[in-house]
Chains A and B, each alone.
Chain A
Amino acid sequence: MKRFLLAIFALAIAVPAQAQDKLVVSIWGGSWRDLVAETVARKFTAETGVPVEFITGGTIDRLNKEKLAKGNPESDITFTTSHVGWLYANDGLFEALDLSKIPNAGNLADEARISPFHLGAWAYVYTIGYRADLLGNMKFDSWSDLWKPELKGKIAGPDFDPSHIIAVSAILSGSDAAHWEKGQDKLKALKPNFKAFYTNDANSQQLLASGETPVQIVLSMNAYYMIGQGVPITLVIPKEGAVLGVDTVAVMKGSKKADLACKFINALYDPEIQAEIAKLKKGSPAVLNAKIDPEIAKLPGVFTTAAQWKQQINIDARLRAEKTAEWRKWFAENIMN
């Protein structure tokens, strides 16, 4: 009995000690968690001996949880999209980053420096993806090709975020995302060509794979996944550029392991880790010194030079955070219904 009680006592002491010696990372589930676990987390643990634990969930679920836990965060590090990161930052949930503790961040592309609180982890584009086998000889050199009458009832776009096509319409109307109203008429003219709006990546895959919507405004990484699964998708970067997207990383305010968190982020920006991420997800590295496999480097949506980053349509993340609701509302009222 004595031995049993001693064992319980030892366990009671050991469990909290172990809980303190780990870095908790909040990220989307599935392949995103695996991506970070197999690359940066592995390197970080090898270097520091500190294991990484993941909290996974949807973008808004995790945001709400952290808001409720403000000051005593559930995680030390959070991965989220750049504009959602501004919601965290505006609510005081992110710690201001001390870049002197993240020396590898010196190689970040300018467009990946989102705010003093969150930095790009990797990038991708939303661009035109289509089934050439179902569309004959149709080519997409410009975003304006989406407006062709022969594409009536053939296009799908994301229902959760119309910012891409809103920015494109504004640009085609001689304006920009900040003055998006100037593109409203242009976008209304695209309405007949929309057949459906997808809810998530899986829904996008189903619509493209079945040929239900042979043209999509699609996430590049998702398109590459489908291509890997044998769906014959052609991905193009229009002459105006694709719409840049950046997923970001940040340290949670109140984290008791801020220094370890900075080490984790520094490991993320290691050129080899960034090259591995690019290889696994066919996304763009956030740093400019990653040595990318030439076969990966030539893919649309993978950028290896500062000039390539600048050629894309970059909607300011803070503007997106502030305008998303307004854009979504207008899009639902005027385009989706």
Chain B
Amino acid sequence: MIGKSGYRFSEKIMLKQKDGAGWRFNKKPFRSSARPFGPVNPQQPYLRTFAAPAMLCAFGLVAALAAVLQFSLRAYVPGSLDPGGFTLANFSDLLRPLYARVFLDTVMICFLTAVSTLIVGYPLAYALVRSQNAIVKSILLVIVVTPLFLGEVVRTYSWIIVLGNNGFINSLLLNLGIIRQPLQFMFTTFGVVVALVHVTMPVMVIMLAAALSHIDRDYQRAAESLGAGPIRVFLTVTLPLSMPGVVAGVTTAFAWTFSAFATPQLIGGGRVNMISNLVYQLGFASFNFPFAASLCVTGLALTIVVLSMLRLASRRLETIEPH
């Protein structure tokens, strides 16, 4: 993580911690020393051998993507598995209102999920890192980690039980007399986002917890000794220093949600669709593989564009230093 002055926060903190006696800032600009495919480093003679399997995987991935790209440029032939000649029609079809809307909906759902996950996950990560009580810490860890051990489908089905017309929330509200008719959570964007937040939360909390645990407590103590209250300490010291984690968490949550399939498929009930659902419907239910491939290619391009924009926008946030 490069600061605005070209130095890494983590390096600053590490140096301070080692130094112990006082502040000492590293003035050497950060440069990567990793040269995995350059001249063989005599100290790491097996690097190439170890990197070979990864290269093979990368090659396989690129070959598969090339096949998908090739399919996206071929015509669909009804009743046949083989695609026809080369065409751009699949991409021009994507401009139709339905598909344009699904792309917009996907970006919106990803954005809402990432932000909501951050809002829900930050206090949890903070409590996880800062809690002194081992029992509380364990309980929080279980809350955070348990969802990772359940498949996305299981988690989504549990949300169907919670959000359904006869589900937990509606039953509770009806029994308390707060509502007369069940509220519609299922088959709505709200329902999909709620379930996706649960699916994404462990990743966000783990990333935030990692960032928060690297913040030197002396910064906060220094602020407190200068008279800052807890809220001010949080807003001016903790939050800015955890920005790299926030940015990493939001970016990952966004990308993670972009490929969500089971949750929008089951909670959305065909009413709320994301790109992956359309790919499934077109490829696996309609056998229109060329059009499904064009959706994949465009979805991938959109992910790269959105994440690049997010990265650009977040660069300023990452450079924030404690005030």
B-binding residues in A (CB < 8 A): 58-60, 63, 67, 86-87, 90-91, 156, 159-161, 195-199, 203, 206-207, 210-212, 318, 321-326, 328-329, 332-333, 336-337
A91 to B186, CA, bound (A): 41
- What residue in chain B is nearest A89 (Cβ atoms)? B79
Interface: B21 (CB within 8 A):
no
Q: A210-B164, A337-B98, A337-B101 are in contact. Are A325 and B281 (CB under 8 A)?
A: no
Q: A160-B285, A325-B288, A328-B281 are in contact. Are A198 and B80 (CB under 8 A)?
A: no
Q: Please pick, from A90, A198, A321, A326, the residue contacting B269 in the complex, using a CB distance under 8 A.
A: A198
Q: Please pick, from B98, B271, B278, B285, the residue contacting A196 in the complex, using a CB distance under 8 A.
A: B271
Q: Which residues in B have their C-beta under 8 angstroms from that of A325?
A: 76, 78, 282, 286-288, 291
Q: Please pick, from A156, A160, A212, the residue contacting B165 in the complex, using a CB distance under 8 A.
A: A212
Interface: B265 (CB within 8 A):
yes
Q: Which residues in A have their C-beta under 8 angstroms from that of B157?
A: 206
- What residue in chain B is nearest A333 (Cβ atoms)? B98
A63 to B286, CA, bound (A): 13
CB pair B283 A333 closer than 8 Å: no
CB pair A159 B270 closer than 8 Å: yes
- What residue in chain B is nearest A60 (Cβ atoms)? B284
CB pair A211 B287 closer than 8 Å: no
- What residue in chain B is nearest A336 (Cβ atoms)? B270
Q: A210-B164, A212-B164 are in contact. Are A91 and B284 (CB under 8 A)?
A: no
CB pair B285 A337 closer than 8 Å: no
CB pair B166 A210 closer than 8 Å: yes
CB pair A91 B271 closer than 8 Å: no
List 17 extra interface pairs beyond A206-B160, A210-B164, A325-B288, CB under 8 A: A60-B283, A67-B81, A87-B79, A91-B80, A91-B81, A161-B285, A196-B186, A196-B187, A210-B160, A210-B166, A321-B78, A324-B287, A325-B78, A332-B98, A333-B96, A336-B271, A337-B102
CB pair B164 A160 closer than 8 Å: no
- What residue in chain A is nearest B268 (Cβ atoms)? A196
Name the residue among B78, B102, B157, B282 with the largest chain A CB count within 10 angstroms: B78
Name the residue among B76, B101, B187, B278 with the largest chain A CB count within 10 angstroms: B187
CB pair B287 A87 closer than 8 Å: yes
Q: Which residues in A have their C-beta under 8 angstroms from that of B283?
A: 60
A207 CB to closest chain B CB (Å) equals 8
CB pair B286 A210 closer than 8 Å: no
Q: Which residues in A have their C-beta under 8 angstroms from that of B284?
A: 58-60, 160
CB pair A328 B282 closer than 8 Å: yes
Interface: B82 (CB within 8 A):
yes
Dominant secondary structure at the B interface? loop
CB pair A212 B186 closer than 8 Å: yes
Q: Report B233-270 CB contacts with A as 1/0, cut-off 8 Å.
A: 00000000000000000000000000000000110011
* Residues in B86-113 with C-beta less than 8 Å from chain A: 96-98, 101-102
Q: Report B54-83 CB contacts with A as 1/0, cut-off 8 Å.
A: 000000000000000000000010111110
Interface: B117 (CB within 8 A):
no
How many contacts between A and B, using CB within 8 angstroms? 95
CB pair A328 B286 closer than 8 Å: yes
Name the residue among B80, B164, B166, B286 with the largest chain A CB count within 10 angstroms: B286
CB pair B269 A322 closer than 8 Å: no
Closest 3 A/B residue pairs (Cβ) = A197-B270, A196-B269, A322-B79
CB pair A90 B281 closer than 8 Å: no
- What residue in chain A is nearest B96 (Cβ atoms)? A333
A333 to B100, CA, bound (A): 11
A60 to B270, CA, bound (A): 20
A-binding residues in B (CB < 8 A): 76, 78-82, 96-98, 101-102, 157, 160, 164-167, 186-187, 265-266, 269-271, 273, 278, 281-288, 291
Q: Please pick, from B82, B165, B271, B278, the residue contacting A210 in the complex, using a CB distance under 8 A.
A: B165
CB pair B79 A90 closer than 8 Å: yes
Q: Which residues in B have their C-beta under 8 angstroms from that of A159?
A: 270, 281, 285
Q: Which residues in B have their C-beta under 8 angstroms from that of A86?
A: 79
Q: Please pick, from B166, B281, B285, the residue contacting A211 in the complex, using a CB distance under 8 A.
A: B166
Q: Which residues in A have their C-beta under 8 angstroms from that of B273?
A: 336-337
A68 CB to closest chain B CB (Å) equals 11
- What residue in chain B is nearest A319 (Cβ atoms)? B79
A63 CB to closest chain B CB (Å) equals 7
A280 to B199, CA, bound (A): 38
A328 to B102, CA, bound (A): 16
A336 to B285, CA, bound (A): 15
Q: Which residues in B have their C-beta under 8 angstroms from that of A67?
A: 81
CB pair B281 A322 closer than 8 Å: no
Q: Which residues in B have their C-beta under 8 angstroms from that of A328?
A: 281-282, 285-286, 288
Q: Which residues in B have their C-beta under 8 angstroms from that of A195?
A: 187, 269
A198 to B81, CA, bound (A): 25
A87 to B96, CA, bound (A): 28
Q: Please pick, from B165, B187, B288, the residue contacting A329 in the complex, using a CB distance under 8 A.
A: B288
B94 CB to closest chain A CB (Å) equals 12
Q: Which residues in A have their C-beta under 8 angstroms from that of B291?
A: 325
- What residue in chain A is nearest B82 (Cβ atoms)? A91
23 contacts between A and B (CB under 8 A): A58-B284, A60-B283, A67-B81, A87-B80, A87-B287, A90-B79, A90-B80, A91-B82, A160-B281, A196-B269, A196-B270, A206-B157, A210-B167, A211-B166, A212-B164, A212-B186, A322-B79, A326-B78, A328-B282, A328-B285, A328-B288, A329-B282, A337-B273
A78 CB to closest chain B CB (Å) equals 14
- What residue in chain A is nearest B78 (Cβ atoms)? A322
A160 to B286, CA, bound (A): 8
CB pair A60 B166 closer than 8 Å: no
